């Protein structure tokens, strides 16, 4: 599966963004069988975590890293 590399969002800009449009990148595999087709791999530009996230651009416009807590676009 291809990894989408993220681009940093400053803390000041992240505070202005709509949190309802934020996905979360977390480490590990999909918990439910069949969930893989909705999930992609993103890489946090702050800490390098390669995590899974739902890559639905209609729903999420940015991500928060489940490891370091910083925000990024992917």
Per-residue pLDDT at 9: 98
Does the pLDDT value for residue 55 go beyond 70? Answer: yes
Q: What is the largest CA-CA distance in the chain?
A: 38
Both tokens of residue 62? 């940015």
DSSP category for residue 21: G
Angle at CA 1, nearest 5°, toward 5 and 67?
Answer: 50
Report pLDDT for 11. Answer: 93
Q: Tell me the pLDDT band of 32, cut-offs 50, 70 and 90.
A: low
Please state, as a whole number, how many other Cβ atoms lie within 10 Å of the Cβ of residue 54: 14
């Amino acid at each position: 599966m291809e990894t989408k590399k993220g681009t940093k969002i400053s803390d000041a800009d992240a505070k202005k963004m709509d949190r309802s449009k934020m996905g979360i990148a977390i480490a590990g595999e999909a918990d439910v069988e069949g969930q893989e087709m909705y999930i992609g791999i993103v890489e946090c530009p702050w800490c390098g975590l390669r995590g899974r996230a739902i890559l639905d651009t209609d729903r999420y416009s940015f991500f928060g890293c489940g490891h370091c807590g910083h925000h990024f676009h992917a």
